[in-house]
Amino acid sequence: MEHAPSGQDPTDRGSADRASTGQGSAGRGSMAQGSAAQDSAGRGPAPRASAGQPSRAALDHQALRELLAAQRDRIGVYALTHRPRPHDSDAPAPVPPAPVPAAVQELLDALPMAALLVAPLLDADGRITDFLYLTQNTRAVAYSRAHVPAASVPRWSGPVRLFDRFPVLEETGLPRMLADAHHERVPQGPEIVEWFIPRAGGPPARLSNDVVVAPCGDHLLVTWEPGHRVRMAVAAQKLVRTCWAEWNVADGTVAPSLGFGHVLGLAPGVPAPADLLGLADLLAPASLPELYRLLYEVFLRKRRSECALRLKGSHERVIRVVAEPVRPRGGPVWAVRAVLVDITDDTRRRALAEAAGAEARRQRARAEALGELAGALRDAVLPRSSGALAPYGIDTAAVYRPDSTGSGVGGDWYKARRLPGGRLLLALGDARGHGLEAVTLMAKLRYALAGLAYTDAPVESLTHWLNDMACDDGIESTATAVIARYHPERRVLRWTCAGHPLPVLLRAGRAALLPAPPGGPGLTLGVLPGQSYAAAETPLAPDDIVLFYSDGLVERRDTDPDEDAARLLDAAEQVLRDHPAVRDHGGLQAYADALMTRLDGPHRSDDVTLLALRRTDT
């Protein structure tokens, strides 16, 4: 679609132009080579990879280059398989037409868009056999220079068959538009015509235009404008769900954008509202005051305003309107110019987020209330170790730390008290779970043990009875425990283990795990009723220290139990060397606090309790 009035082919820009665009006689090789050259020329060098493995950015850039090159190859294959056929080369040459009058050429050059003048070629029966490309205006020449690859069409030498010069156009809708305009004598279009021009040694050039064909005497006038602008505007409005409109208040009309009906959710073919009252008819009743406020701000205060409006219908479409006044200098507001954005999805997401946030706040408040209740219950049932048992041969120090993750109070518990007859009850356990349920089970086990201990039954029986009670309490009521009784007359600690970590004995500065009772540690409480438990006897020497502790003190995620135990023993010895003064209650408490601090940390995911026992009598 070009012609140079001076006789020069507008697509032949000369050897200098071809050299500057890299389209000289050497050309480019394969499509892949052309793609690589274009990437290198258009985007600069690829990011450098560091020594060794390439960086992630370099790999991403390489993947993008390969994706683009592959797509160019697919386009090249398409262009090769859709190459235009030679246009009826056996047809006789047309009779040379009379030159285009200068006045006609001047009229064409005055048109504000690119234009061609075409003459239909008719046979003896008046049927169209072809179309003769006569001339074009200066805007067509400028379009060709900007969009048609150099040397991709033959040099212009005067009027020529249209489809000899542009064979690909024969496969578009243009021949039909030309024929209809000739026969019906009415303009055709605008209609989008997309085509490509093969380019030697490189990718084809794609052209897309809005074309109009109008009868002009015995000739046909073909005009075109770049069609992608209108299509991109419509597509952009749909993609971002945005449109604009200008309402003329005086005559009650509207000048909308092409996406107006789409944003308002109107079905295809349904006319858009013609005025502001028509827009009001589309709104839900609750949004009418908002529209009134917006128009009041625009009309009377003459300033920009915005609001969110809900439309009628089951889908509850929501649009945001941003409006401004349009008025002559010193005059009233003549029109309202507005941008409308469909914010339905954003509104729904915001509502869901607000509901989720409100639910999270309710759950957090509930958890905090339950945590406070559980904490108060724990404080009520767990005593502060004050060394009250020291006169009876055992000093005690206890340390408790809640769950470091903030998930709630856990089920750790301990018991240290004197029984009738002078013997001492010493125990530490860990009820399953967190929160109020764990504290409730902990309180049940602790108080049950305190009552059962008054029977003077051996610790094996106490553990057996606690297990049966936990089994009766429910399927979730499980716990571990070490239950012990100290016999001062024999200086012996008799103890059982129900699925709990084994106690640690510190003697003469060395730490070791106490051997498990005969048959190994017993089953966790609450798992299986009727279980029997064996007891171990550990004689205690003066200043021996025994550590009862919950698993939260030593267990770490993804660590080996033997490593956990070794870490505990090393820490117990090291802290004792740092705090050797443990012969009074304050010293023992300081040692327990220091050991807890040494082993504690943010990696812990459970609450933890440490009960330290020291034999005091000599």
The C-alpha angle with vertex 389 and arms to 432 and 584, in degrees rounded to 5, equals 105
* Packing angle, helices 435-453 and 459-473, rounded to 10: 140
Q: In what order do the strands lie in the sheet with 318-326?
A: 253-256, 242-248, 335-342, 318-326, 305-310
pLDDT at 323: 92
| Look-up of token digits 């067509």 | 140
| Residue type present at position 361 | R
Identify which has the larger pLDDT, 590 or 7. Answer: 590
pLDDT at 15: 35
Identify which has the larger pLDDT, 371 or 291. Answer: 291
Q: How far is CA 17 from the centre of its chain?
A: 48
Identify which has the larger pLDDT, 278 or 207. Answer: 278
Q: Which of 156-160, 352-356, 464-468 is predicted most confidently? A: 464-468
For the chain, give the percent of residues with pLDDT over 70: 80
Say whether pLDDT at 33 is over 80.
no
pLDDT at 379: 62
Candidates 448, 461, 454, 451; CA nearest to 420 is 454
Identify which has the larger pLDDT, 416 or 606. Answer: 416
**What pLDDT band is residue 552 in, cutting at 50, 70 and 90?**
confident
Say whether pLDDT at 150 is over 90.
no
> What average pLDDT does the segment 513-521 reach?
93
- Asked if the peptide bond before residue 190 counts as cis, ω within 30 degrees of 0, the response is yes
Average the pLDDT over each of 41-55, 251-265, 378-392 and give the range with the smallest value.
41-55
**What pLDDT band is residue 27 in, cutting at 50, 70 and 90?**
very low
pLDDT at 97: 78
Say whether pLDDT at 518 is over 60.
yes
For residue 205, count other CB atoms closer than 10 A to its CB. Answer: 15
> What average pLDDT does the segment 466-475 reach?
86
> What average pLDDT does the segment 314-341 reach?
85
Identify which has the larger pLDDT, 297 or 556. Answer: 297
> What average pLDDT does the segment 333-339 reach?
87
Please check whether residue 347 is in contact with residue 355, taking contact to mean a CB–CB distance below 8 angstroms. Answer: no
Name the phi and psi angles at 215, rounded to 5. Answer: -70, 140
Q: How far is CA 185 from the centre of its chain?
A: 57
pLDDT at 14: 36
Please check whether residue 347 is in contact with residue 308, taking contact to mean a CB–CB distance below 8 angstroms. Answer: yes
Which residues make Cβ contacts (< 8 Å) with residue 288, sequence separation at least 6?
Answer: 280
pLDDT at 529: 92
pLDDT tens-digit map of 219-268? 999 998 876 666 666 666 677 788 888 888 877 788 888 788 888 888 88
> What average pLDDT does the segment 70-75 reach?
72
User: Which residues of 375-478 form beta strands (DSSP E)?
Assistant: 394-401, 410-418, 424-434
pLDDT at 25: 34
For residue 118, count other CB atoms closer than 10 A to its CB. Answer: 23
| Residue type present at position 212 | V
> What average pLDDT does the segment 3-12 reach?
40
Give the tokens for residue 479.
């716990």
- Measured between alpha carbons, how far is 125 from 127 in angstroms, rounded to an integer? 6
Q: Please list the alpha-helical segments (H only) found in 190-333.
A: 228-239, 260-263, 276-281, 288-299
> What average pLDDT does the segment 299-323 reach?
88
Say whether pLDDT at 309 is over 90.
yes
Identify which has the larger pLDDT, 48 or 208. Answer: 208
What domains, with CATH codes, occur in the chain? 14-226 (no CATH), 232-342 (3.30.450.20), 382-615 (3.60.40.10)
pLDDT at 375: 63
pLDDT at 258: 79
Identify which has the larger pLDDT, 440 or 371. Answer: 440
**What pLDDT band is residue 555 in, cutting at 50, 70 and 90?**
confident
pLDDT at 186: 92
For residue 499, count other CB atoms closer than 10 A to its CB. Answer: 19
Identify which has the larger pLDDT, 492 or 165. Answer: 492
pLDDT at 224: 87
pLDDT at 42: 42
Helix (H, G, I), strand (E, B) or coil at 269: coil
pLDDT at 543: 92
Say whether pLDDT at 314 is over 70.
no
Based on its alpha-carbon atoms, the radius of gyration of the chain, rounded to whole angstroms, reads 46
Q: Is 592 exposed, middle or buried (0-12, 13-18, 19+ CB in 10 A)?
A: buried
**What pLDDT band is residue 83 in, cutting at 50, 70 and 90?**
low
Q: Which of 267-271, 387-391, 461-465 is predicted most confidently? A: 461-465
Please check whether residue 511 is in contact with residue 452, taking contact to mean a CB–CB distance below 8 angstroms. Answer: no
Q: Which of 12-26, 438-452, 516-530 is predicted most confidently? A: 516-530
> What average pLDDT does the segment 593-598 reach?
94
pLDDT at 510: 95
**Residue 526 region, left (φ>0) first, then alpha (ψ -120 to 50), else beta?**
left
- Measured between alpha carbons, how far is 524 from 466 in angstroms, rounded to an integer? 11
pLDDT at 474: 72
What rounded mean pLDDT belongs to the chain? 81
In sequence order, what DSSP letters do the residues of 506-572 get, joined into one string?
EETTEEEEPPPPTTSSBPPBTSSTT-----EEEE--TT-EEEEE-GGGT--TT--HHHHHHHHHHHH
> What average pLDDT does the segment 494-500 reach?
96
Name the phi and psi angles at 132, rounded to 5. Answer: -100, 125
Give the tokens for residue 151.
């040397």
Largest CA distance in the chain: 137
Instruction: Say what the pTM is.
Output: 0.47
Tell me whether strands 504-507 and 128-136 are parallel, antiparallel or unpaired: unpaired
Provide the β-strand partners of residue 304: none
Candidates 480, 513, 485, 477; CA nearest to 497 is 480
Give the tokens for residue 426.
């010493």
